[in-house]
Structure 1
Amino acid sequence: MHEAQPSRTALRVALRRAAHQLFDTPVVFEDPMAVPILGSAYAAELERTPRRSDRPYSTGLRAFLVARSRYAEENLRSAVESGVRQYVLLGAGLDTFGYRNPYPGLQVFEVDHPATQAWKQELLTRNNIPVPASTHHVPVDFERQSLTVELQHSGFDPNRPACFAWLGVVPYLTPEAFRATLGFIAERPAGSGVTLDYAQPRSVLPFHEQLAHDSIASRVQLSGEPFRQFFTPEEMAHELSAFNRIEDLGTAEINARYFSNRSDGFETIGKAPRLLSAWKDR
């Protein structure tokens, strides 16, 4: 049987999320499945995952990745408390929430490219991680398939509110794909919302951060998953006009919320990364 090939972007995120469980104290985002889902196949690569204090941008990226996962799941908890029973992970990658879901009745829909889904399911099987009946894998090739149709085929109810997590995806989308997906979320009933992250454009960054941006952009370009779009907070607010409650966090706000009173210097850095949630309360 041909083994499915990993998405390098999804793997890099998963490795950093797992490294956080092993090497950072205290842990900001507890994910007991982050290491097991990688299994022995990626054990050596996990050991090599950058975590040195002399690589601040790498450490800052890991901090941002775990902060955004925690932020998304905090927003999900609030949505569940208000009655939402559908959680959609757009670009799920190796996210593990569906295999540790603590909420009775919450249906989890993992949306990703078919190749990424096949790779993840191989890892779940290989590493003996059971898939609960409440978790639905939704393979979608956005160039050939409809998100609406494929979600509904998997049991998603478009007439009920839903909480969406859209992490690590927006910079890789074309403007058309971004707006089409955002429009789909905005059409959901009151009580629905989305957590996403985005990055500010190179032109608004200080010089040293522009160099870091160029290095990362070059690496993702070589891996075949290039950056395509960036937003300032003002531009993003314009895109979210269909939502009536928005929270947009920069580095200072993220650090104050998740990384205060640490002695190890573990925190997000730079001006580029942003975390955002947008909700339809009416």
Structure 2
Amino acid sequence: MASPTESMPRGGRFGDMQLGQPSRTALATAYARAYHQVAAEPRIFTDPLAIRITGVSPDRLPDLARGVLREPADLALQRRRRMFLAARARFAEETVAAAVAAGTRQVVILGAGLDTFAYRNPHPQVRVFEVDHPNTQAWKRQRLAAAGIAIPPSLTFAPVDFESQTLASGLAASGFDRSRPCAFVWLGVVMYLTRETILDTARFVAGQAPPVQLVLDYLYPDSAAAPEQAAQQQARAGRVASIGEPWLSFFTAAEFAQLLREIGFDRVDDRSARTLVDGYLDSPELDAADGAFGPHVLRATRTE
């Protein structure tokens, strides 16, 4: 079995640079997260740096969030997607906060992109490692400088070029301690990787000194959806594939939980988009028809 370092794609959603630009899907996510801060919708997640780091004015965000992936002009669909992205970010940061309260002092963000947690980190005693392709990190540093966002001493960039490095060696070179507990955040990446790569990375995380937690999101297979929902997902899959970032892996909740337990995690908390979003609101926002299909977020824990 290949190690998580050997089987990682070359660049890809861990931060490939194309003609001096970051991953286009990661950029679309950053625009959507920023627009959530000003859109006329229930605020699930507040990020005071989300707009600044994009470097664009708020009035341009709706078109940019949709235009990067040539999304259809379906305002309701765009709203649901923004709210899910906000909810998954909040869930991840709540997981980190709980881990810190229990004594964890390391956080690793895999495929950090334009994530801003490290620059808003309310836990100065916690060291945050951002893992990405070196070129992506160089681009992010430029964006941070242009936005006037300071790099805190608690942040360590962990550049990893998967053509020549492993995840383990890249983190080790950055001072990461495998013998101490850690919370890993891995959002917006899993669906772009092969199953082998996903499981190898999960094994790497499970091998961390306990307690260790991993927060990630993934997609359900089309076969689990009603025809209309399956058609929407297939259309989006076609759009991301057309820009060179195809979806490669899908799971059901039961299947993913079993795989993670076989790897060594002893607890898996899995939530559908509808369950996650509605859990943060006073009234339901997502369609009842969404059910378990679509994006899910899970938290896998190894306690011993």
User: Which residues of 2 match residues 40-79 of structure 1 at below 5 A?
Assistant: 40=56, 45-48=60-63, 49-50=65-66, 54-79=74-99
* d(CA) in 1 for partners of 2:134, 2:271: 32
1:259 to 258, 281, 303: 281
Give the deviation of 1:255 after TM superposition.
Answer: 3.3
The match for 2:240 is 220
TM-score computed with the length of structure 1 as normaliser: 0.92
Q: Which runs of 5+ in 1 are unaligned?
A: none
Give the deviation of 1:43 after TM superposition.
Answer: 5.7
Moved more, 198-207 or 48-57: 48-57
Listed one character per residue, the Cα deviations across residues 175-230 of structure 1 (whole Å, up to 9, x for unaligned) are 22111110110001111111111110111111111111111111111111110000
* d(CA) in 1 for partners of 2:303, 2:166: 26
Moved more, 67-76 or 111-120: 111-120
Listed one character per residue, the Cα deviations across residues 8-33 of structure 1 (whole Å, up to 9, x for unaligned) are 01101100000000114441101000
Listed one character per residue, the Cα deviations across residues 47-82 of structure 1 (whole Å, up to 9, x for unaligned) are 424599953222211111110000000000000000
* d(CA) in 1 for partners of 2:81, 2:142: 27
Give the deviation of 1:239 after TM superposition.
Answer: 1.5
The match for 1:28 is 44
* d(CA) in 2 for partners of 1:113, 1:268: 39
Q: 1:24 to 1:76 in 2, by over 3 A?
A: farther
Equivalent pairs counted in the alignment come to 277
The yes-or-no answer on 1:13 pairing with 2:29 is yes
The amino acid of 1:219's aligned partner reads R
Give the deviation of 1:4 after TM superposition.
Answer: 3.1
The match for 1:99 is 119
* d(CA) in 2 for partners of 1:8, 1:117: 15
Q: 1:167 to 1:149 in 2, by over 3 A?
A: same
* d(CA) in 1 for partners of 2:266, 2:195: 22
* d(CA) in 2 for partners of 1:269, 1:97: 33
Contact 2:35 2:58 in 1 (8 A): no
The amino acid of 1:148's aligned partner reads A
User: Which residues of 2 match residues 230-249 of structure 1 at below 5 A?
Assistant: 230-241=250-261, 242-249=264-271
Give the deviation of 1:141 after TM superposition.
Answer: 2.3
Q: 1:267 to 1:163 in 2, by over 3 A?
A: farther
* d(CA) in 1 for partners of 2:248, 2:50: 28
Contact 2:83 2:277 in 1 (8 A): no
SS in 2 for 1:279: strand
User: Which residues of 2 match residues 54-203 of structure 1 at below 5 A?
Assistant: 54-203=74-223
The amino acid of 1:94's aligned partner reads L
Q: 1:255 to 1:47 in 2, by over 3 A?
A: closer
TM-score computed with the length of structure 2 as normaliser: 0.85
Q: Which runs of 5+ in 2 are unaligned?
A: 1-18
* d(CA) in 2 for partners of 1:254, 1:60: 12
Contact 2:274 2:287 in 1 (8 A): no
Give the deviation of 1:125 after TM superposition.
Answer: 1.2
Contact 2:272 2:297 in 1 (8 A): yes
Q: 1:53 to 1:173 in 2, by over 3 A?
A: closer
* d(CA) in 2 for partners of 1:47, 1:69: 19
Listed one character per residue, the Cα deviations across residues 86-120 of structure 1 (whole Å, up to 9, x for unaligned) are 00001111000010111021001111122322221
Listed one character per residue, the Cα deviations across residues 145-199 of structure 1 (whole Å, up to 9, x for unaligned) are 1111111111110110100001011000112211111011000111111111111
- The percentage of counterpart residues that share the same residue type is 42
